[in-house]
Chains A and B, each alone.
Chain A
Amino acid sequence: MQTIEFKQSLMEAAAEVLESMCFLSVLGEAAEPAVDEEWIGSRLQFLGENAGSFGMRLPVSTAEIVAGNFLGHSGGEITSAQVEEVICELSNMICGSFLSRFRKDAIFDLAHPVCSRERCGGSSGATVQTLELDEGLMQIWLEFNP
């Protein structure tokens, strides 16, 4: 898979998950965000014919909207624990959706996602994409083990 197809496939996986589970649209790629807001993220490892890691991060304010939509909450009643649970589940779904597009014939096992408030990007070899959502930004990254 070429880099451009790879990135397109990652974006499609994120769009599918966000649209169907959180009623949010991915508007397209965005520029690298400025670091002036608290972000939250999660990462997970996958095993199978191709092993590697996947992660996502987004500003806390955006994460609260995403989690609220996912859980069907309306305004101001969502806890940080619930936000973390939803972000972890979304990373699991986006990674699974991408891997199923990447290798239709292979079986992957996804480890339990780990949530982090720190910057959680992959190594310099990771494919990173910043996406513009209709409610903020989201960054996703994926790398295969050498």
Chain B
Amino acid sequence: MAFNVLIVDDSPAMRKLIRRVLMLSGLELSQCLDAGNGQEALELLRAHWVDIVLTDINMPVMNGEQLLKEISSDALLETIPVLVISTDRTEARLQRMMALGARDYVTKPFLPETLGYAMERLLAGVRRADDRI
């Protein structure tokens, strides 16, 4: 089973790096979409099937917190797992993002395997949900 991933980060360099890490991690990906902010991400989510969202927090136009709120309150999007990738490693921020609906939280800088493991855990959940349908 191959997955569609959406990477949301205002830094083109970081989007490129995450995409490369995912490609090298051995995960089965069929499509890797990317967006520069939460607003662009929502537009893509409403036009494409996405299995998992990886998002930064600090972004212009619509930040990661607002994006999480939008996803959590949309009946069609609320089941999509969201992985937050941020420079902020404070417990307060982590708790806030998890309370808003994030499934996992990876801090930047990260080792490629850290992101790979987090993705595997979340995608295992997507597989199980898919098997039940």
Interface residues of A (CB under 8 A from B): 16-17, 20-21, 67, 70-72, 82, 85-86, 88-89, 92-93, 95-97, 99-100, 103-112
Q: Does B13 contact A104, Cβ atoms closer than 8 Å?
A: no
Answer whether A92 and B92 are a contact pair too, CB < 8 Å, given A20-B109, A70-B17: no
A99: B residues at CB distance < 8 A? 88
- Is B117 part of the binding interface, using a Cβ–Cβ cutoff of 8 Å? no
- Is B124 part of the binding interface, using a Cβ–Cβ cutoff of 8 Å? no
- Is B49 part of the binding interface, using a Cβ–Cβ cutoff of 8 Å? no
Which one, A16, A85, A96, A103, contacts B11 given CB within 8 A?
A85
- Is B48 part of the binding interface, using a Cβ–Cβ cutoff of 8 Å? no
Answer whether A88 and B13 are a contact pair too, CB < 8 Å, given A16-B109, A20-B109, A20-B111: yes
Q: Does A105 contact B11, Cβ atoms closer than 8 Å?
A: no
9 contacts between A and B (CB under 8 A): A71-B16, A89-B11, A96-B87, A97-B108, A97-B109, A100-B107, A104-B91, A105-B90, A107-B92
Which one, B92, B93, B109, contacts A21 given CB within 8 A?
B109
- The answer for the CA separation of A70 and B86 in the assembled complex, in Å, is 17
Answer whether A105 and B92 are a contact pair too, CB < 8 Å, given A16-B109, A72-B20, A110-B87: yes
- The answer for the CA separation of A128 and B10 in the assembled complex, in Å, is 27
- The answer for the CA separation of A97 and B16 in the assembled complex, in Å, is 21
B90: A residues at CB distance < 8 A? 100, 103-108
Q: Does B96 contact A107, Cβ atoms closer than 8 Å?
A: yes
Task: Give the shortest distance, in Å, between B43 (CB) and chain A (any CB).
Answer: 20
List which B1-34 residues lie within 8 A (CB) of chain A.
10-14, 16-17, 20
In this complex, what residue of A is CB-closest to B59? A112
B12: A residues at CB distance < 8 A? 85
Please list the 6 inter-chain residue pairs (A to B) with the smallest Cβ-Cβ separation, ordered nearest first: A96-B87, A85-B13, A20-B109, A100-B89, A89-B11, A86-B13
- Given A99-B88, A106-B90, A112-B60, 8 new contacts (CB under 8 A): A17-B109, A72-B20, A92-B87, A97-B89, A104-B91, A105-B91, A109-B58, A110-B87
- The answer for the CA separation of A110 and B14 in the assembled complex, in Å, is 16
A92: B residues at CB distance < 8 A? 11, 58, 87
Interface centre among A67, A92, A106, A112 (most CB of B within 10 A): A92
